[in-house]
Structure 1
Amino acid sequence: MNESRAARPIGNLPVLGSSFVGRQRELAEIRRQVEAARLVTLTGPGGVGKTRLAIQAAGLTRRAFPDGVWLVNLAAVDDPAQLADAIMATLGIPDQSAQPAFEQLARHLSQRCLLLVLDNCEHLLPACAELVDGLLRQASGLRVLATSRQPVELPDEHVHIVDPLPTPKPDSELPAEMLSRYESVTLLVDRATAVQPAFAVHDGNRDAVARLCAQLDGLPLAIELAATRLRSLSVEQVADRLDDRFRLLNRGSPAAMPRQRTLRALMDWSHELCSEQERQLWARLSVFPGDFDLNAAEATCAGSGLPRDVIVDRLDGLVAKSVISARPETPVARYQMLETIRQYGRELLTRGGLTRHVQRKHRDYYLRLASECCARWCGPDQNSLLATMRREHDNLMTALEWSLANDDESAALELVSALRYHWTLNYPAAGRRRLDQVLNQVRDASPLRGDALWVAAWVARIQGDTKASAMWRHECGEIADRFADEHLQAYVQLFAGSMALFTGDPFDAARSLAESLTLLREQQDMPMVLMALFLYGQALTMCGDSPAAQAACTEAIALAEERGEVWARGLATLARGFDLWKNGDPEGNAAELARQSLRFTPDANSASAVLSIELLAWIAGSRGEHDSAARLLGAAATQWQSQGVPIDSAFPLFAQSSNQCRVEALDALGQPRFSEHFDYGKAHPLEVLSGPGGIPAPPADEGAPLLTRREQEVAELIAKGCTNKAIAAELVLSPHTVGGHVERLFNKLGINTRAQVAAWLAQHQDQGPPASRTGS
């Protein structure tokens, strides 16, 4: 008897028809949950692999259940009243009593120790909740593992959200051998070789494989359906046709349940589970290209049968049904759709004739958001404003593209101008492309175009493209004169002074900047007053007028402190230190000012961060500490590399001092020793910045946030100048996962660029015991 039981486990778990790929950590976690809780529910979107995962996990727990592991497929049960009968039939319980089926089932289970796997509960949730609650009360040896689009919602239920498989980024350009680390790619290869034995990932198709898995969101069913197409199509062809994925992925296994045979059938089933208002919201949310928050959903989707005050509940319903995924752990919860679910929603929106209306509301919301961020810039919230614009980048770009596609030129100009701080501090390269795009498409002269022109001149200047910057500034001047627009005239003078300063004419720069300051003060344009004072102070330094330079910088610092502003304050503090160093620094205060500027950098300004490191190097060189200067130059080189703009292009005025410091250190140390120190600083910026001459750590009671072990790893690699792709390769994570870690890291530390990470770590890396950095 015992030999028979050992040879053939009790229960009815099926043997999976194809290999089970990946999810080892999830299997271990589900097994632990089944041991700890009597009801565990696997939730997730359709096609994510809940059933196969439940079967695999249940099989691993067999030894704990002497009376077996039993799978009950509820997909074909339409009548909630037949739920108990279906379970009895699966367990082989003869219905020979006049008692209700539930009582017979409860009596049978009361003396047994078994695991009941209830698969596909979503369409019977009230009945499932009532039955499972009753059985668990009467059968102490019973455990239930359920799969459902949404939780059963019983008090002691443990919910395990099943996510799609990890995917590489479409543009990750990872070597073919590294793609196999992603479970979505492994699944594709496994299923593809079943229909096309010669299929393999190689350098010729690696990009298409990555694109295919990413565009299918790592959804196992979609990947399996795509794999069947590789019998007659190349992986490039399949990836290219995913814009029409519901037509393409329409050939599943005949043995599968009807709603699992095609991608459209899967989505149709999810749609049927939703209420009418949830369906409307699903369709309208499809205009979001990525994640979004509740305010955006309410502003974009309310109206026409969907009042604003019900959206929070309907959104919660879509999250519960796994149509939308939620990240409630962030300060403001974020929501997102898988691309397949989004495309289905777009079809619904198009059929309802509301596409243009909802897209316009989406654009209007993000135009308002950008304008509000710009208006609030000169205050204490700069870091959060930059984080908001970074977080909403995809939505902002979609709003811009819609404006251009629908000939709403004024809105396009207004939006691209309102994002000036986003371009200059978050994404200069992307800003340059977008500004060029808008200015090339919208050519009519107007003050709105003038605003976009001076922003474009600013971004081009940051990139070191003086020719383009001069061209945009010149046209802005023509518009300013044509419309007698004093605001534009002030900006023209400001950027004329900036251009003169950085091309080596400080006297002309000082004249232009003084004129711009007069106009900007009259207009009470405080952000640009602060910028002009910083530039004016540098020009006066180069003119040899140190007292006036110190006065300009001191004024800028006072105005910034008054408003709680840190971006210009960091630059002005740096400029004060530069002026003192340039004039011999008789009292030795320049280094402290550079360190003060560095301490401001975690809040808003990567430019002052790297320039402050440079200034510390120059000061060390002036003192004859050439080994320290070489290490600091190396640390600065890492930051310039992470910003993607060399000092020669971004700040040629300062580049002269940097180059001189380098030459003097080379002469003093010799090439081998200089390279040794420089390379050390480049590879270990944290040690250099936290060492002598760097940034002193703040008092231990400042309450700096503790990083998890994974965040610490990511931060240290960022500080070394690694890209997300390089970090992903080093830590064996997807670039998408790394991107999430970076975003959370920035929010936790209160920083906005990669260049600031080294400065923060240098200040705080020794605070708190390593054991406090737990989690991943």
Structure 2
Amino acid sequence: MRAHAAGQTSKAGRPKPPAGPETARTLPARLDRFIGRERELERLRDLFHRHRLITLTGPAGVGKTRLAIEFADRLPAPSPAQAALVELDVLRDEGLVTQSVAAALEIREQSDQPIAETIFKALRGVQRILLLDNCEHLIDASARFVDTALSRCRGLRVIATSREPLGIAGEIVFRVEGLPLPPSGPGTSTTDLARSDAIRLFTARAREHAQDFELTADNAADVAAVCSELDGSPLAIELAARWIPTLPVASIRSRLASRFELLTISGRTGGMRQRSLREAIQWSYELLTPDERVVFRRLSVLLGSFDLETVTAVCQDVDLVPEAILGLVSRLQSTSLLTPVAGARRYRMLESIRLFARQRLNAAGESDAVHERLVSWLSELAEPLIRQPVWFPLQTQSRLESLLDNVLTAMQWAQSTNDDRHGLLTVGVIRCWMQRGHLTEGRKLLRSALERATCPVPIRCLMLAYAGYLAALQGDVQEAFGMLDEASVIAHSLDDPRSLISTLYVIGCLEVAAQRFESAERRFIRCEELANTIDEPAAVAMVIERLAWTVLSQGDVDRANELMNRVLPAFRAPPAIHGLSLAMHTAATIALARDDVEEAERYFCDALRAAPTSSLEVPFTLDGLGLVATRRGRHEHALRLFAMAQGIRGKRLHTEPAWRRQVDAAMAAVHQALDPVVAEQIVRAAEPIGRDNAISYALRQVGPGNQDQADLLDDAERAVALLVAAGHTNRTVAERLGISIRAVAYRLQGIRDKVGLGSRSDITKWARDHLGPG
């Protein structure tokens, strides 16, 4: 009888369940080694003990299935707890989900009841794990089955993988990201790179195809670049590594622009989603509705991260209204085609997904129209840079900086189509680059833009002014005056006081740097007159601040102080303008000249707080705090600040001679007061600290008290240092803090770099001297 398909009966004469707890585990054996994901496995173990349904979500090729199988395979498996894998990717009919579960559990259908009932009876009273793989195309049927199964079978736990959640009660969504990417930046060693899970995977898979492959100093940078450009996607990395017997890594990297042709194999086993990156993404694309496809392909013009306002700007048209776009974006995020940016209401597309979407955009013939919307949107955002070239709101610059990758895209598109807005967008890029310290790159970009004949005259004038300003910042006075002379001619020919103000303002700044103080003063007085005619208090404030600096440079401290007192309220009033940090620096320098050290320190700190993203004002403000520390006799602290400033400034940022003389005199006094060995150690440790750490350190050191090097460390580094000083090994430190041994090593290296220490015993002695018993 089919009701007794198992062919056995119990002593009571009742048929045994068609599948019982003794059924063997049905997870597939893997033929290659699982790499990395230890943190994810640990988190899954914690969740698994507390929840009965975990859904692993993530984009194509991110390794959801492999992670789920590895996790289930590592679970202890006494006979009551066994795992069965249900592979849904080959199904196209929702009605076959239940049958596939039955097949995985080795349950035979019975003639007198639905197969679902047979499954639930078999699972009742036993402990089982069901791994439901690739649910996204059968999401409704999968959700219905899992919801009912969990409510009927108390011993059942489900691990699902899907590009979107099941959306049922009790579900814990576990998002799977790409493998951690290798560190970047100068000084990164091959050993550092080899610790990255992404590089470890590439290396392991490459050796499967070329056993002599090694990560070396010659190829490590290219391997790191390949992994980074593939967003740490395990599938893409494995497909790239397959080319190692045929291509050197550098050639694989150079071919990633055509990655869909490169990242495919002609293997005889496995589904196409595992044999081709294009097919892996195509699988998700085919599940989208027509409107979702429209938004998906239009978003391909955006680079980096972007917000909903930008999404709306490039996607809306007469058929797709803004009210509908929010829901469509939400759907793209839920299907893992759009990735949320942690801690921000922003999104990004993984590069492979974006390139796939771009192909769909081109195929739809929409590329020109969507790029036009992007150019229009960003040109509108950048317009205040033309309308208020010297005194624009800080918010404008911050907004552009958050979209810098897309401003660059729009600028390049406008350039390629001879669009007049190219110059305006170039100015937007320059403003962002200046704050990041990209002065040389900015000068090259401006030279290229100025060669264009289609640039409107007012924008050309502004670009010349910026070109002259950047040249002045790098000490190229001759080129600066050449650019500004041409800008001056244009500005005087225009019936536009704003253009003339911005040009005269920059010329005045250059003349101060060249120590032509009387001429600079005349320029700024003329700027003030013009600014008063346009009823712009912020413009007046910006000009008078530079006038105050000019007269201070001539030794007239009282007049400088009177001028700054006039305009400080305007700088402090909302909205904040981009010159706020510069104004605070000037006010601080005047206070220092008046021997008011306390007020000078307050203003210098205000300057730092007003310029957290600037690479221009920060080093000079650190210099100023160094001058304050020197006045107080805090020589080690002063030298550390001077060294940090120099490390940020580097060789690319010119310093006005008058300011340089003040700093040099203070540094000479500091060096005279310190032991040369101590001074060398301080400089070596402080120069590479970087802008953000330097700001944090400087603001923590306010006041005449704590001079301790311990303030260079963050809380995590302090904790490690204290445990090392107490005699713990890296392993026991890791266990006590709940972190990896690798993280302990990284933090120890951070301590060595920041404080200038060498061996572990040095750290132990230093921690006992500076951190105490903890």
The answer to whether the aligner puts 1:650 opposite 2:661 as a matched pair is no
Report the more deviating stretch, 206-215 or 429-438.
Answer: 429-438
> CA separation of 1:82/1:517 partners in 2, compared to 1, >3 Å: closer, same or farther?
same
- 1:391-434 CA distance string (max 9 Å, x none): 211111111111111111x2111223345643443444243343
- Once residues 445 and 396 of structure 1 are traced to their aligned partners in structure 2, the CA distance between those partners, rounded to angstroms, is 19
The answer to whether the aligner puts 1:641 opposite 2:653 as a matched pair is no
Aligned partner (choices 223, 246, 250) of residue 260 of structure 2: 246
Structure 1, gaps ≥5 residues long = 1-7, 698-706, 714-728, 739-769, 771-776
- Once residues 601 and 223 of structure 1 are traced to their aligned partners in structure 2, the CA distance between those partners, rounded to angstroms, is 42
Equivalent positions of 1:350-389 (< 5 A) are 350-371=362-383, 382=394, 384-389=395-400
Aligned partner (choices 585, 596, 608) of residue 601 of structure 1: 608
Which position in structure 1 is the counterpart of 2:512? 501
> CA separation of 1:494/1:64 partners in 2, compared to 1, >3 Å: closer, same or farther?
farther
- 1:689-714 CA distance string (max 9 Å, x none): 645745999xxxxxxxxx9959999x
- Once residues 438 and 381 of structure 1 are traced to their aligned partners in structure 2, the CA distance between those partners, rounded to angstroms, is 25
Q: Is the 8 A contact 1:566 1:603 kept in 2?
A: no
- Once residues 48 and 637 of structure 1 are traced to their aligned partners in structure 2, the CA distance between those partners, rounded to angstroms, is 43
Q: Is the 8 A contact 1:170 1:211 kept in 2?
A: no
Aligned partner (choices 132, 145, 158) of residue 172 of structure 2: 158
> CA separation of 1:17/1:501 partners in 2, compared to 1, >3 Å: closer, same or farther?
same
Which position in structure 2 is the counterpart of 1:631? 637
Which position in structure 1 is the counterpart of 2:341? 327
Q: Secondary structure of 2:250's partner? A: helix
The answer to whether the aligner puts 1:422 opposite 2:432 as a matched pair is yes
Structure 1 residue 490: deviation in Å?
Answer: 2.7
Structure 1 residue 125: deviation in Å?
Answer: 0.8
Which position in structure 1 is the counterpart of 2:556? 545
> CA separation of 1:573/1:353 partners in 2, compared to 1, >3 Å: closer, same or farther?
closer
- Once residues 524 and 420 of structure 1 are traced to their aligned partners in structure 2, the CA distance between those partners, rounded to angstroms, is 27
Equivalent positions of 1:388-467 (< 5 A) are 388-408=399-419, 410-418=420-428, 421-429=431-439, 430-442=441-453, 446-467=457-478
What amino acid does structure 2 have at the position aligned with 1:118?
L
Equivalent positions of 1:657-672 (< 5 A) are 657-667=662-672, 671=676
Which position in structure 2 is the counterpart of 1:144? 158
Aligned partner (choices 571, 592, 605) of residue 560 of structure 1: 571
Q: Is the 8 A contact 2:179 2:232 kept in 1?
A: yes
- Once residues 167 and 568 of structure 1 are traced to their aligned partners in structure 2, the CA distance between those partners, rounded to angstroms, is 37
Which position in structure 2 is the counterpart of 1:703? none
Structure 1 residue 546: deviation in Å?
Answer: 2.8
Structure 1 residue 733: deviation in Å?
Answer: 8.4
Q: Secondary structure of 2:326's partner? A: helix
Q: Secondary structure of 1:69's partner? A: strand
Which position in structure 2 is the counterpart of 1:102? 116
- Once residues 186 and 585 of structure 2 are traced to their aligned partners in structure 1, the CA distance between those partners, rounded to angstroms, is 37
- Once residues 677 and 322 of structure 1 are traced to their aligned partners in structure 2, the CA distance between those partners, rounded to angstroms, is 48
Structure 1 residue 668: deviation in Å?
Answer: 5.3
Which position in structure 2 is the counterpart of 1:592? 599
- Once residues 520 and 679 of structure 1 are traced to their aligned partners in structure 2, the CA distance between those partners, rounded to angstroms, is 46
> CA separation of 1:679/1:287 partners in 2, compared to 1, >3 Å: closer, same or farther?
closer
- Once residues 309 and 704 of structure 2 are traced to their aligned partners in structure 1, the CA distance between those partners, rounded to angstroms, is 43
What amino acid does structure 2 have at the position aligned with 1:280?
V
Q: Is the 8 A contact 2:553 2:658 kept in 1?
A: no
Structure 1 residue 142: deviation in Å?
Answer: 0.4
> CA separation of 1:243/1:564 partners in 2, compared to 1, >3 Å: closer, same or farther?
closer
Structure 1 residue 471: deviation in Å?
Answer: 2.0
Which position in structure 2 is the counterpart of 1:315? 329
- Once residues 304 and 564 of structure 1 are traced to their aligned partners in structure 2, the CA distance between those partners, rounded to angstroms, is 35
> CA separation of 1:130/1:375 partners in 2, compared to 1, >3 Å: closer, same or farther?
farther
- Once residues 566 and 79 of structure 2 are traced to their aligned partners in structure 1, the CA distance between those partners, rounded to angstroms, is 76
Q: Is the 8 A contact 1:362 1:399 kept in 2?
A: yes
What amino acid does structure 1 have at the position aligned with 2:446?
L
Q: Secondary structure of 1:29's partner? A: helix
What amino acid does structure 2 have at the position aligned with 1:166?
P
Q: Secondary structure of 2:213's partner? A: coil
- Once residues 437 and 380 of structure 2 are traced to their aligned partners in structure 1, the CA distance between those partners, rounded to angstroms, is 20
What amino acid does structure 2 have at the position aligned with 1:78?
R
Q: Is the 8 A contact 2:588 2:603 kept in 1?
A: no
Aligned partner (choices 203, 212, 218) of residue 198 of structure 1: 212
Structure 1 residue 688: deviation in Å?
Answer: 6.8
Report the more deviating stretch, 598-607 or 544-553.
Answer: 598-607
Which position in structure 2 is the counterpart of 1:135? 149
Relative CO higher for 1 or 2, CA cutoff 8 Å, sep ≥ 6?
A: 1
- Once residues 69 and 580 of structure 1 are traced to their aligned partners in structure 2, the CA distance between those partners, rounded to angstroms, is 73
- Once residues 445 and 306 of structure 1 are traced to their aligned partners in structure 2, the CA distance between those partners, rounded to angstroms, is 34
RMSD: 3.3
Which position in structure 2 is the counterpart of 1:479? 490
Report the more deviating stretch, 637-646 or 230-239.
Answer: 637-646
Equivalent positions of 1:603-752 (< 5 A) are 603-604=610-611, 606=614, 609-619=618-628, 621=630, 623=631, 625=632, 627-629=633-635, 631-644=637-650, 649-667=654-672, 671=676, 675=680, 690-691=700-701, 693=703
Structure 1 residue 641: deviation in Å?
Answer: 1.7
Report the more deviating stretch, 49-58 or 538-547.
Answer: 538-547
Q: Is the 8 A contact 1:497 1:513 kept in 2?
A: yes
What amino acid does structure 2 have at the position aligned with 1:422?
C
Q: Is the 8 A contact 1:165 1:219 kept in 2?
A: yes
> CA separation of 1:200/1:680 partners in 2, compared to 1, >3 Å: closer, same or farther?
closer
> CA separation of 1:280/1:149 partners in 2, compared to 1, >3 Å: closer, same or farther?
same
Q: Secondary structure of 1:72's partner? A: strand
What amino acid does structure 1 have at the position aligned with 2:589?
F
TM-score, length-scaled by structure 1: 0.82
The answer to whether the aligner puts 1:215 opposite 2:229 as a matched pair is yes
Q: Is the 8 A contact 2:183 2:193 kept in 1?
A: no
Aligned partner (choices 36, 45, 63) of residue 59 of structure 2: 45
> CA separation of 1:538/1:373 partners in 2, compared to 1, >3 Å: closer, same or farther?
closer
Structure 1 residue 162: deviation in Å?
Answer: 0.8
Q: Is the 8 A contact 1:377 1:385 kept in 2?
A: no
Q: Is the 8 A contact 1:540 1:549 kept in 2?
A: yes
> CA separation of 1:655/1:265 partners in 2, compared to 1, >3 Å: closer, same or farther?
same
- Once residues 237 and 530 of structure 1 are traced to their aligned partners in structure 2, the CA distance between those partners, rounded to angstroms, is 55
Report the more deviating stretch, 432-441 or 335-344.
Answer: 432-441
Q: Is the 8 A contact 1:423 1:431 kept in 2?
A: yes
- Once residues 199 and 137 of structure 2 are traced to their aligned partners in structure 1, the CA distance between those partners, rounded to angstroms, is 32
- Count of equivalent residues: 693
What amino acid does structure 2 have at the position aligned with 1:345?
A
> CA separation of 1:9/1:504 partners in 2, compared to 1, >3 Å: closer, same or farther?
farther
Structure 2, gaps ≥5 residues long = 1-21, 708-713, 721-741, 751-770
What amino acid does structure 1 have at the position aligned with 2:80?
P
- Once residues 671 and 172 of structure 1 are traced to their aligned partners in structure 2, the CA distance between those partners, rounded to angstroms, is 28
Aligned partner (choices 519, 529, 538) of residue 540 of structure 2: 529
- Once residues 466 and 126 of structure 2 are traced to their aligned partners in structure 1, the CA distance between those partners, rounded to angstroms, is 73
Q: Secondary structure of 1:516's partner? A: helix
